[in-house]
Every structure is written in structure tokens, then in C-alpha cells.
């Protein structure tokens, strides 16, 4: 834990850690949604989408890592039980459609997840602006990538 790291945050640190943990849960669910969708998707049209889902899934995993590091730096504990991902997340988890050829559904569900993530990081950036530079910087960095993800998936419809 960073003692000074906590001290310089001009916010309720425990509330901030709880908010970071909710975003952390979102990232794991997004990672898994894309990872499993990439594996079950079938059909000729799915090839490009599958590659994109795999690429974006790894970026969501990276976001989870960055959030976990920040939570620990603030003296918190990242969620250690996957059961909590569903109960703590801000955004809904969408199972891949029963029809493995329904790639349009997979894309629409991914766009929904990205839009939810954009709201989450936009809010986190607002909350931390001028009050916690490190978390603000992280929120902005992740927000930029979520904006790019929404754009990438929208272009696939
Ligand atoms: Fe993400
Ligand atoms: Fe994303």
C-alpha cells in the first residue's frame, strides 16, 4: 500500500476503491464475454469479428490489471472471488447467442458493453478530476480505449 498515495487523494478512498472494484468486475466480464464469443462464433462472416473480439478481449484484461494495480496501491483489495464479478459489476454480462452464426448479435452485445464502459470511465474521470491525478489519468487512458472499441465494433455492423 502506498501511504502517501492514499494521503494525496482528495476523495473518500474507500468509496473510490469500491468504484474501482466495480469497474474491475466489468473488465473481467467484458474480457470473458469477448473471449468466449470469439471461440463459439461460427460461419464465414465471423472471421474478422473473431479476430477483433480476441484483440479487444486482451485490452479488457489489461484494463483489469491496471485497475487491480491501482486498487492495491490505494491500500485496497481487488475482488478475489469471481462470484462477485456479476454482483458488483456496473455493466451487464451477455452470453453469446445460442445460434453461433448470429455474429450481428455478438457485435451488438459488445457495443452495449462498450457504451456502458464509456459511461463508467467518463464518470470516474469526472469524480477524480483535480482530486486524484493518478486515477484520473488511468480513467482517461481506459476511456480512450473504450471509445476506440465502440468505434471498432460499430464499424462491423
Ligand atoms: Fe475495458
Ligand atoms: Fe472495451
CA of 55 to the centre of ligand 2 (A): 10
C-alpha cell at 57: 478481449
Asked whether residue 138 is domain-assigned, the answer is yes
Question: Are 95 and 110 a contacting pair, CB within 8 Å?
Answer: no
Distance between Cα 66 and ligand 2 center (Å): 14
Closest CA to 122 of 107, 155, 144: 144
Residue 3 domain flag: no
- pLDDT for the residue numbered 45: 83
pLDDT tier for residue 2 given thresholds of 50, 70 and 90? confident
Instruction: Determine, yes or no, domain membership for 21.
Output: yes
pLDDT 10s digits, 30-48: 999 999 999 999 988 899 9
Residue 105 resides in a domain: yes
Ligand nearest to C-alpha 27? 1
Ligand 1 center from residue 35 Cα (angstroms): 13
Give the pLDDT of residue 44.
Answer: 84
> Does residue 4 sit within a domain?
no
Handedness of CA 8, 19, 137, 24 (dihedral sign): positive
Q: How far is it, in rounded angstroms, from Cα 30 to Cα 110? A: 8
pLDDT digits (tens, 9 = 90+) for 84-119: 999 999 999 999 999 999 999 999 999 999 999 999
**Which pLDDT belongs to residue 35?**
98
Q: Are the C-beta atoms of 67 and 20 separated by less than 8 Å?
A: yes
CA of 62 to the centre of ligand 2 (A): 10
Ligand number, closest to the Cα atom of 151: 2
Distance 149 CA to ligand 1 centre (A): 9
Mean pLDDT of the chain: 97
Surface-to-core class of residue 15, CB atoms within 10 Å of its CB (0-12 exposed, 13-18 middle, 19+ buried): exposed
Number of domains in the chain: 1
With CA atoms as reference, report the closest residue to 6 among 67, 76, 63, 61.
76
pLDDT at 1 over 90: no
* Residue 126 burial (10 A CB sphere; 0-12, 13-18, 19+): exposed
121 within domain boundaries: yes
Give the rounded percent of residues in the chain with a pLDDT score beyond 90: 97
Residue 122 belongs to a domain with what CATH number?
Answer: 1.20.1260.10
Domain membership flag for residue 5: no
CA of 52 to the centre of ligand 1 (A): 14
Distance 7 CA to ligand 2 centre (A): 31
Give the range of the structural domain holding residue 148, as residue numbers without chain letter: 11-154
Q: Classify residue 1: in a domain, yes or no.
A: no
Q: Global pTM? A: 0.97
Amino acid at each position: 500500500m502506498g501511504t502517501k498515495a492514499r494521503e494525496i487523494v482528495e476523495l473518500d478512498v474507500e468509496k473510490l476503491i469500491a468504484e474501482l472494484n466495480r469497474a474491475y468486475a466489468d473488465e473481467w466480464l467484458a474480457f470473458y464475454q469477448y473471449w468466449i464469443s470469439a471461440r463459439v462464433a461460427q460461419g464465414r462472416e465471423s472471421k474478422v469479428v473473431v479476430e477483433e473480439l480476441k484483440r479487444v478481449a486482451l485490452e479488457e484484461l489489461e484494463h483489469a490489471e491496471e485497475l487491480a494495480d491501482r486498487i492495491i496501491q490505494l491500500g485496497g483489495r481487488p475482488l478475489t472471488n469471481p462470484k462477485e464479478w456479476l454482483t458488483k459489476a456496473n455493466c451487464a454480462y451477455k452470453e453469446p447467442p445460442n445460434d453461433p452464426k448470429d455474429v450481428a448479435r455478438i457485435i451488438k452485445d459488445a457495443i452495449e458493453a462498450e457504451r456502458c464502459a464509456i459511461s463508467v470511465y467518463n464518470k470516474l474521470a469526472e469524480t477524480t478530476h483535480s482530486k486524484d491525478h493518478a486515477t484520473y489519468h488511468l480513467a482517461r487512458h481506459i476511456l480512450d480505449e473504450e471509445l476506440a472499441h465502440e468505434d471498432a465494433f460499430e464499424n462491423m455492423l
